[in-house]
Structure 1
Amino acid sequence: MKRDSALNPPMGPPVAAPPAGTPSRRSRAAGLLRACRPRQWLKNALVFAAPAAAGVLTTGAGLRGSLVAFAAFCLAAGGSYLFNDAADVAADRRHPRKRLRPIAAGIVSVRLARTAGAVLLAAGLLAGLAGGWPLAAVVTAYLALTFSYTLWLKHQPVVDLVAVAGCHVVRAYAGAVAVSVPVTSWFLVVVSLGSLLLVAGKREAELRARPGDGQVARATLETYTASYLGHVRVMASGAMIVTYCLWALQEHTGPAKAFCALSIVPFVLVVLRHALLVDRGVGEEPEELVLRDRPLQVFLALMLILLACGIQLA
């Protein structure tokens, strides 16, 4: 199957052990930062969704609350990634790409990863408390879900898809809690279905990218087939488009309705573009798609501009 080399560079053969030698302090620090996966913090931008939809993101209080939530989730996510990679170090060393992660490659020791992870988790909870106890409670729920995933849920087929999607939904809900705005059922349904769509696409790309010997680093992938994950994507994308259309056409009036209705077009284009990229085998890292795929960026920007106009006119 043809793959997009810009999004997925060629992968070398898996290795069974980290390289010999003691990494320098500078390389450990750089590796520790990379192990926190700062590119994946882009997912935490979901905390801005509810405040933006409520029209309070442009206010001082709304922006401050959203930024506090974003910082809290970046810290918490960084700590979670460190603990997750420390737990998965043996499996990651058998994966053609994940073997290059700092912990799997031996640049960062498991002990250092867990120590730094604990510090980041504590900092994330303190940042959540700075935004109020409701935000701290949501951050705690997020951490409980991520640790449940690391220790058990990721080994349960189907449940692992819902667990990862649930982490995205918690992020979006945290944004609403941080600025004290109500969360509509429309918002939760669209975010939930969109999250499930991304996770199914990620698993499908991982399944297609497995080594030629058929081995997979993620145990649950053995239970999935590309056709099943494709079915999940079709179900989630169809339901999400219908829900978004109902929200855009039924929940607005006047000029706001016109802009929200127009946003349906780029919204559908985003879904279709994502489907194309996953079918081409480049959906293993959804955040990389947003950062590198120009058509996807254009469709997202157009959708956000139309939504911003609709929200301001509401």
Structure 2
Amino acid sequence: MTDLHTPLPVARRESTARALLRLSRPQQWHKALMVFAAPAAAGALESPTDVLEAAIAAIGFMFLAIAIYAFNDIRDAPDDRRHPRKQERPVASGAISPTLAAAYGVTAALVGIAIVSTLGTATFGLAIAYLTAQLLYVLGLKHVAVVDLILVALGFVLRAAAGATATGLPISHWFLLVSLFGAMFLVTGKRKAERTKIGNAASRPVLAAYPMSWLDQVLTISLLGTALSYGMWAFQYLGHDVYRELLAVSFLPFFTGLLRYALLVSTGRGEEPEHEIFRDRVLLVAGITWAAMLGIGLYCA
């Protein structure tokens, strides 16, 4: 018989507010910055109006992502309890109930849709497409090999496209391809890193469907697609203003970063792509150099 005075687990003593904050995964909110990619690539960040509209879109997509995280944690709770790290998630650990998590997710989705609806029909449509695709992912397509990769990558592309529609800026086809192949590159690297870690198979059964050789092939294709698409976008500025030519030169640090990241993935890293750039000095220097060249080329011309 359990003693009535036995202290509850730490997770169950956690405040509801803190548990809901963890459910929202604030460490992932930076992904909403993808909305700023199109305005940035168009040299439009000098316009306060464009920045404001992109910021509103980013906030809207952030709320939609929070809704997806809540629904995902409800769906995955049984599997998460068998994972050494994911068992600490709020729903899996019992810090909050599935009912509360569902109500929180629905509220976040409605808030996100309401915010994005102020930015026009096109952006609203992209938001609905994003929410639908990610819900399908959570409800079962995450367990379908290949489809899970495409849906995660699609989420990045839809956010990038929303940045263009929200600000009314034209969007380059090369830009969309860079977004798609770049997202596939990161997602595939993440799956490969997860494939090598003990304990991930229990919470992500689809990993068993991916042979390492196949993941390597997709990683290579995605790397080449990202590099070629970025090169086609950047090299169109050759022969223009001297500052614009820096955009073409920026291909070198960009390609260096891709190759370096591929090397890190081959050693078992890449499960947390957003952290790798700060952990590896070469990748960090390549990223800073690329960003500096891009900024000067776009905003000093």
User: Shared fold (TM-score greater than 0.5)?
Assistant: yes
* Residue range with higher mean Cα deviation, 287-296 or 266-275: 287-296
Identity %: 39
Q: Is the 8 A contact 1:47 1:174 kept in 2?
A: yes
Matches within 5 A, 1:216-295: 216-252=202-238, 253-290=240-277, 292-295=279-282
Count of aligned pairs between the two proteins: 293
Residue 264 of structure 1 deviates from its aligned partner by 1.0
Structure 2, unpaired ranges of 5+: 1-7
Structure 1 residue aligned with 2:81? 93
Residue 23 of structure 1 deviates from its aligned partner by 2.7
Task: Give deviations 1:53-77, integer Å, cap 9, x for gaps.
Answer: 1111220111101100110111110
Question: Aligned partners of 1:72, 1:48: CA distance in 2, in Å?
Answer: 13
Q: Is the 8 A contact 1:91 1:217 kept in 2?
A: yes
Task: Give deviations 1:258-283, integer Å, cap 9, x for gaps.
Answer: 20122112101221221122223221
Task: Give deviations 1:167-214, integer Å, cap 9, x for gaps.
Answer: 010010010011011111110111100000011011111110133xx9
Residue 297 of structure 1 deviates from its aligned partner by 3.1
Structure 1 residue aligned with 2:122? 134
Question: Aligned partners of 2:83, 2:12: CA distance in 1, in Å?
Answer: 22
Q: Is the 8 A contact 1:204 1:229 kept in 2?
A: yes
Matches within 5 A, 1:171-190: 171-190=159-178
Residue 48 of structure 1 deviates from its aligned partner by 0.5
Structure 2 residue aligned with 1:67? 55
Residue 257 of structure 1 deviates from its aligned partner by 4.1
Matches within 5 A, 1:161-200: 161-200=149-188
Q: 1:290 to 1:77 in 2, by over 3 A?
A: farther
Aligned residue identity for 1:232: V
Structure 1, unpaired ranges of 5+: 1-18
Question: Aligned partners of 1:239, 1:44: CA distance in 2, in Å?
Answer: 23
Q: Is the 8 A contact 1:200 1:232 kept in 2?
A: yes
The answer to whether residue 280 in structure 2 is matched with residue 297 in structure 1 is no
Structure 1 residue aligned with 2:71? 83
Residue 239 of structure 1 deviates from its aligned partner by 2.1
What is the CA RMSD across the aligned residues, in angstroms? 1.9
Question: Aligned partners of 1:83, 1:102: CA distance in 2, in Å?
Answer: 12
Structure 2 residue aligned with 1:30? 18
Structure 2 residue aligned with 1:309? 296
* Residue range with higher mean Cα deviation, 176-185 or 285-294: 285-294
TM-score, structure 1 as length reference: 0.87
Question: Aligned partners of 1:144, 1:85: CA distance in 2, in Å?
Answer: 17
Matches within 5 A, 1:153-164: 153-164=141-152
Q: 1:294 to 1:104 in 2, by over 3 A?
A: farther
Q: Is the 8 A contact 1:76 1:143 kept in 2?
A: yes
Q: Is the 8 A contact 2:12 2:93 kept in 1?
A: no
